[in-house]
Structure 1
Amino acid sequence: MVDSGAGVAALTRRLAAGLDAERLRRDVETLASAPRSSLRAPEAMRRAQEYVTGELRDAGWEVGSAPFDVRWQVGCTDRHGSRAMPLKLRLHRRLRGTNIVAELPGAGASDRPTVVIGAHLDTVDGSPGADDNASGVAVVLETARLLGQLPDPPAVTLALFDMEELGLIGSRVVARELSRTRRVAGMICLESVGVFSDRPGSQQLPPGFATVFRDATDAVRRAESRGDFTLVVHRRSSATAAKLWQHAAAQASPALASITLRDPRPDGPLGMLIGLAVPPANHLGRSDHASFWNRRIPALMLTSTANFRNPHYHRSTDTPETLDYQRLAAVTLATAATAAQWPGHDRGRPTDGPAVT
């Protein structure tokens, strides 16, 4: 693998020939036909799982269904709407769900470090979840098609997580189990990546954000607070990967604007605890990448910032026609190129630190 921007640019141009924005639209429309939840809408979730499994297999991936059964998990409610975090907290007595995990044939040797690309398949109660998170799942599926065309299969693991909306339940399981059996070089999380707006003032910022994250705030304000970019959230451990993703997004046609935002917290349990004391930092850990950060695995979260841009967030109006599929295609292209050339991918290292569940 090549860790240079030039290498990513060359791969991005190569992958672009196989990219299809209409496939992304089809995937979103199929997935967002109804709310999906193993807890509240199990039949719709089963159909969604069957669909993504079929698409991944058609793209040449080996796909596994990974059921889990966990007890006494601290999480949150999946009722629709926006609530303050303390009002969402729940203690789940028992949860049963299923993750979908896939790898390319010949790329899954246990001594070869992998890069995880993941998105959650479930929705909140009552929302079809086109942006949150059929958009992220569609990017995973299209990334599978692009990477499956490469002659040398990259060591990439695809994961569609269950029960993210209940508190990252499925990704906690995947992060724990995968780190026991493979060296994990990094993780890319797709979280609500399909909504964009060129209207000035369409991008909002969380309370306290401007004080803690001045560089990102300045970048948003220079663009007249337009919601026309992808936010790339990273930590020190994944800073180089964030820059590579940004470089690859700039190679798309048309180019996709992006803003990188460094979470100053360390990987591992300490970073999770600091987030409890610094509320603005909590917004940077609101998806499945946090399960990997908590195990000291370098990770990125890609997002169009959900409720800070999308008026349909967690509502029944989060439907396919609200997404920008050309920009979603650019997100796909940059994600595929970055995963295939993740910094230090061929060197890898075992994950360390205490288990966090």
Structure 2
Amino acid sequence: MTTGRTPRASDRSLFTNNETSIASPADTARLRQHLVYLTTTPQPRNYQHEAVLNSVAAYIRRGLQAAGARELAEQPYAVRGQEFRNVIGSFGPADGPRLIIGAHYDVCGDQPGADDNGTGVAALLELARLLGQQAKLPYRVDLVAYTLEEPPFFRTKQMGSYVHAASLKAAGVPVLGMVALEMLGYFDDRRGSQRYPVAPLKFIYGSRGNYVTVAQKFGNGRFGRQFARRYKAAAALPVKRFKAPAWLPGIDFSDHLNYWHFGYSAVLLTDTAFYRNGSYHQTSDTLARLDMRRLGLAVDALLNTVLAGPR
């Protein structure tokens, strides 16, 4: 993993070097509204409840449409005799390389999944609303809500993100990079609240779970390096940048994994999941445990990183 360093000159070729100000901060009431919906569906939003997943997909589609997405699309595919779907909303110019930002909307087992991954979906929808307010975007941004990220489909070709990444590759779509939004709302300021895959890392990154992280593998390409630097500069909350071998537990535990399979540079934006949140994949993963203010700050930084644009 890496610590702070002097940015390389090449880091400035994708994102501009000027600091940007937040024109329209994220609305925490809207974030909460999305989370209330996601955590109170009639049955848990897992693969065993196809109707619930379809209703969530429809909710996300309505949110992207209301935000002013230039294009809306669904990407249905069949698994075990059932039909599941990704939902895609595009913002900015129709042509040219695009930035992919995605979050999965399914949960693992019978739990509400407030942090995992209600916060990622809520952030995606709020980012959509903020992008829709911009007169002009520097490049195309595709916001993608994935299905079937969780077990028993994790690390299989049935993951919604695998289906989406494969479709981009097959169509020869130019991609600037990809950002996976995975658990962004749980924070704990107490000493010892943050754990790591390798214990000595706490002496480098601290033992308080009060930050978000941009995680990526070694050899992830220029986009990952640039995004991490820009996001940290734009954030009004602590940000740690992690870079490690892909085999380190947690580095590839989300949808960005599938973009790596196809040669795309991709990063994970997260509150570190089970390394901090003891309610990971538990029925106690509820809205009451989340920090809306800091979730909003994470979205603000993401918006400003997107708006910085390429030179």
Q: Give the TM-score band, short-chain normalised.
A: 0.7 to 0.9
State the AA in 2 paired with 1:230.
Answer: V
Determine the C-alpha separation between the residues in 1 that align with 2:180 and 2:233: 18
CA distance in 2, matches of 1:314, 1:219: 28
1:210 CA drift (Å): 4.1
Residue number in structure 2 paired with 1:244? 230
Alignment map for 1:1-357 (pairs within 5 Å): 3-6=15-18, 9-10=19-20, 12-16=21-25, 19-34=26-41, 35-37=44-46, 39-61=47-69, 62-69=71-78, 96-104=83-91, 107-109=93-95, 112-153=96-137, 154-165=139-150, 166-167=153-154, 169-181=159-171, 182-206=173-197, 209-210=198-199, 214=201, 217-221=202-206, 225-235=207-217, 236-237=220-221, 238-249=224-235, 255-264=236-245, 275=247, 281-341=248-308, 345=310
**Residues 7-26 of structure 1: per-residue CA shift (max 9 Å, x gap):** xx31x42243xx21111111
Q: What do the CA deviations read for 1:57-114 (whole angstroms, capped 9, x no partner)?
A: 00101321110135xxxxxxxxxxxxxxxxxxxxxx777421111112x6222xx000
Aligned length: 285
After superposition, the C-alpha distances for 1:275-329 in whole angstroms (9 at most, x for unaligned) are 3xxxxx1320000011112222111101111111112111111111111011101
More helix by share: 1
Specify the SS of the correspondent of 2:22: helix
Counterpart Cα distance in 2 of 1:46 and 1:228: 34
Deviation at 1:2, TM superposition (A): 6.6
Cα distance in 1 for residues equivalent to 2:72 and 2:129: 14
Q: Identify if the C-alpha distance between structure 1 residues 282 and 310 changes in structure 2 by more than 3 Å, giving closer, same or farther.
A: closer
The 1:291/1:314 distance shift into structure 2, 3 A limit, reads: same
Q: Give unmatched runs, 5+ long, in structure 2.
A: 1-12
Output the amino acid matched with 2:181: L
d(CA) in 2 for partners of 1:15, 1:157: 20
**C-alpha contact (below 8 Å) 2:39/2:112 kept by paired residues:** yes
Q: Equivalent residue of 1:282, what SS?
A: coil
Q: Normalization by structure 2: what TM-score?
A: 0.86
In structure 2, the residue matched to 1:83 is none
SS of residue matched to 2:251: helix
Compute the displacement of 1:5 (Å).
4.0
**Stretches (4+) displaced over 3 A:** 93-96
Does the residue aligned with 1:296 lie in a helix, a strand or coil?
Answer: coil
Q: Which runs of 5+ in 1 are unaligned?
A: 71-92, 250-254, 266-274, 276-280, 347-357
Deviations along 1:228-264, one digit per CA (max 9) or x if unpaired, are 0001102441112111011111xxxxx2101100134
Structure-2 change in CA distance of 1:14 and 1:219 (3 Å)? farther
Give the 3-state SS of the residue equivalent to 2:306 in structure 1: helix
Q: Which residue of 2 aligns with 1:74?
A: none
Contact in 2 for aligned 1:115/1:187 (Cα 8 Å): yes
Q: Which residue of 2 aligns with 1:268?
A: none
Contact 2:14 2:226 in 1 (8 A): no
For the residues of structure 2 that align with 1:241 and 1:31, how far apart are their CA atoms?
29
RMSD: 2.0
- TM-score, scaled to structure 1: 0.75
Letter in 2 for 1:139: A
Mapped partners of 2:278, 2:49: distance in 1: 24
Cα deviation per residue 1:2-52 (whole Å; 9 max; x = unaligned)?
72342xx31x42243xx2111111111111114202x21222212211111
